[in-house]
Amino acid sequence: MNGKTPKAQGFRQSQAGLHTWTGLLVGWILYLIFLSGAVSYWREEITRWTQPEIGATHDVETVARGAIAHLQTVAPKAASWSIALPDERASGATATFREKARPAPRRGVDPNAVTIGPDGKVVQPRDTEGGDVFYRLHFDLRYVPVIWGRWVAGFCAMFMLVAIVSGVITHKKIFADFFTFRPGKGQRSWLDGHNALAVLALPFHAMITYTGLVTLMVLYVPWGVAANYPSKTAYYAQSITRAKPVKPTGEAAALADIGAVLKTAERAWEGGHAGLIRIDAPNDVAARITLTRRASDTLVDGRWEIVFEGVTGQIRSQVAPSSSGMIARGGMIGLHAGRFAPMTLRWLFFLSGLAGTAMVATGLVLWIAKRRQKLADPSRPHFGFRLVERLNIGAIAGLPAAMAVFLWANRLLPTGMAGRGDWEVHVMFIAWSGLLLHGFARPPRRGWIEQLALTAVLLAGLPAFNLVATQRGIVSSLMAGDMSMAVMDLVLLGLGAAFAAMAFGVARHRPAVPKVRTPRPAPTAPNAAQPMAARQPEEVEA
């Protein structure tokens, strides 16, 4: 490769090769990471949608009081209580307690945890992972040990970074083609679309990939820690200081009013809000209340804490992110996760995330479109071509369908079912496996049409089902002023319509330049795999 090409075009050519193959190798996983990441900007909203039993939270103080009242009745002598409070986007609080002052298990179901509804009463929502499914999938993947998932995600992100840089270098006319999209021209259109999606959202793509690596940097680049600390535990012990356990005296005393404590914290944080209440040794003279600030409060993801005397409600101590390194890292994590983002910004993040998803998808399809022209015998493409072509169907059209299946499982599985929350996820992956196989079993063109249409029906059917079969249809959500439920239904409908348009586009698409080939029907029609460019076929002629 090095010696054969002239030097002038050698560098860009080499970057093109690098871009193509780095992109292809991790493309399908990147697609999954991008799509699950984009929808994770609505993690709280999805969780709310999957637990319609809990209504919208209007007043956090009511919820906090309700949680404490519940804990007073079930565990007045516990070692500690903790209450995770909702923010504007979430609903309901989680209240739990610990009998003894030892750390809780990191994972698994907490038998003491209950959900407190907006009215301060205990509610029993259906068992589901909600929006956390997609959030976890985004960097942990699934069915593999978490650490492996994170290494794979990091590997893909590193390749993505390489693909971004080499893509920019190899793009011939990044400014001249800035506003250019020529539909209905096969490979040309795919390249235009891929370029437009990449260039227009380039700040987002670069930011999200880089900061994504930063979120798990201690895992990927452990040497800084290894060089400066005797062990990982020592590093965490210093960087995440934990309060010493409180020893109860045995002398009973009433707790300070939680409403007043919350207000004091709000003043100390200059308008900030508590996300987590932890009460050590409740109902004891030595009681201590620790408030942790909401992650959605500040751009910098970091630990803000205020510790109060449990009985008097006086501030004992405060913690805020201080070292510039921690603030820089926290800022990047905050930027990546967008927890801070106000609604408009959140939409911009989401749309940019979808642009990234579509960029990866168009890149994968482009690989096929580019090679289709050069096939020696189009009716019998080689193995690699067929593999990529078929995987594209089940990945690009199949994953959104499977994600919709998750939401359907959430609505349809019986509420009392054992392991219900897990089965929602199993059903999603069973559906996805089926669709991946379907992509191989059907002729590619039919495969695209069927899967895109299926995705459209699954997505658009959800709001319809909500309207007809549940109490939380779009009409009642709007009447109740519950905007996030209503908007989620509308977005599902809109996405369904978009997939329907793509399915119709592929179905109506007639290849512009029919190549001479053996008279076999549709199966390997050139450009069959072109849902997006095919959307406006008649305009091409106009």
What angle, 0 to 180 degrees and rounded to 10, lies between the N-to-C axes of helices 7-40 and 132-140?
150
Minimum CB distance to other proteins smaller for 101 or for 299:
299
Minimum CB distance to other proteins smaller for 12 or for 346:
346
Minimum CB distance to other proteins smaller for 356 or for 447:
356
Q: Least distance (Å) from other proteins to the CB of residue 375?
A: 29
Minimum CB distance to other proteins smaller for 25 or for 200:
200
Query: What backbone phi and psi angles, to 5 degrees, belong to 199?
Result: -75, -45
Q: How far apart are CA 153 and CA 140, in angstroms?
A: 7
Q: Least distance (Å) from other proteins to the CB of residue 220?
A: 24
Query: What backbone phi and psi angles, to 5 degrees, belong to 401?
Result: -65, -45
Q: Least distance (Å) from other proteins to the CB of residue 270?
A: 14
Cβ 286 vs Cβ 246: under 8 Å: yes
Minimum CB distance to other proteins smaller for 153 or for 333:
333
Residues 6+ apart with CB under 8 A from 254: 283, 311
Instruction: Give the up-direction half-sphere exposure of residue 126: CA atoms within 13 A in the CB hemisphere.
Output: 24
Minimum CB distance to other proteins smaller for 200 or for 311:
200
Minimum CB distance to other proteins smaller for 93 or for 333:
333
Minimum CB distance to other proteins smaller for 105 or for 342:
342
Instruction: Give the up-direction half-sphere exposure of residue 414: CA atoms within 13 A in the CB hemisphere.
Output: 3
Minimum CB distance to other proteins smaller for 148 or for 347:
347
Cβ 255 vs Cβ 282: under 8 Å: yes
Q: Least distance (Å) from other proteins to the CB of residue 293?
A: 17
289 forms beta bridges with: 279, 308
Quick count: other Cβ atoms within 10 Å of Cβ 507? 16
Minimum CB distance to other proteins smaller for 321 or for 434:
321
Nearest partner of 384 among 41, 46, 123, 21, judged by Cα: 21
H helix or E strand, kind and range, residue 421 = helix 420-441
Minimum CB distance to other proteins smaller for 342 or for 414:
342
Q: How far apart are CA 302 and CA 323, in angstroms?
A: 11
Minimum CB distance to other proteins smaller for 330 or for 394:
330
Q: Least distance (Å) from other proteins to the CB of residue 165?
A: 18
Residue with tokens 């109506």: 508
**CA 99, 103, 105, 107 torsion-angle sign:** positive
Q: Least distance (Å) from other proteins to the CB of residue 530?
A: 16
Q: Which stretches of the chain bind other proteins, using CB under 8 A?
A: 176, 178-183, 196, 200-201, 203-204, 207, 299, 335, 340-342, 344-345, 348-349, 351-352, 355, 536, 539, 542
Angle at 79 between CA 76 and CA 85, to 5 degrees: 75
Minimum CB distance to other proteins smaller for 70 or for 535:
535
**CA 495, 496, 501, 505 torsion-angle sign:** positive
Q: Least distance (Å) from other proteins to the CB of residue 245?
A: 37
Q: Least distance (Å) from other proteins to the CB of residue 302?
A: 14
Q: Least distance (Å) from other proteins to the CB of residue 521?
A: 32
Q: Least distance (Å) from other proteins to the CB of residue 199?
A: 9
Cβ 384 vs Cβ 367: under 8 Å: no
Q: Least distance (Å) from other proteins to the CB of residue 451?
A: 26
Nearest partner of 212 among 447, 40, 2, judged by Cα: 40
Minimum CB distance to other proteins smaller for 94 or for 536:
536
Q: Least distance (Å) from other proteins to the CB of residue 178?
A: 7
Q: Least distance (Å) from other proteins to the CB of residue 442?
A: 32
DSSP string, 89-140: S---EEEEEESSSSPPPSSS--TT-EEE-TTSSEE------TTHHHHHHHHH
Q: Least distance (Å) from other proteins to the CB of residue 211?
A: 11
3-class SS shares of the chain: helix, strand, coil, % to 5: 60, 10, 35
Q: How far apart are CA 247 and CA 250, in angstroms?
A: 9
As a whole number of Å, the end-to-end CA separation of the chain is: 44
Distance of CA 441 to the CA centre of its chain: 30
279 forms beta bridges with: 81, 289
Cβ 292 vs Cβ 240: under 8 Å: no
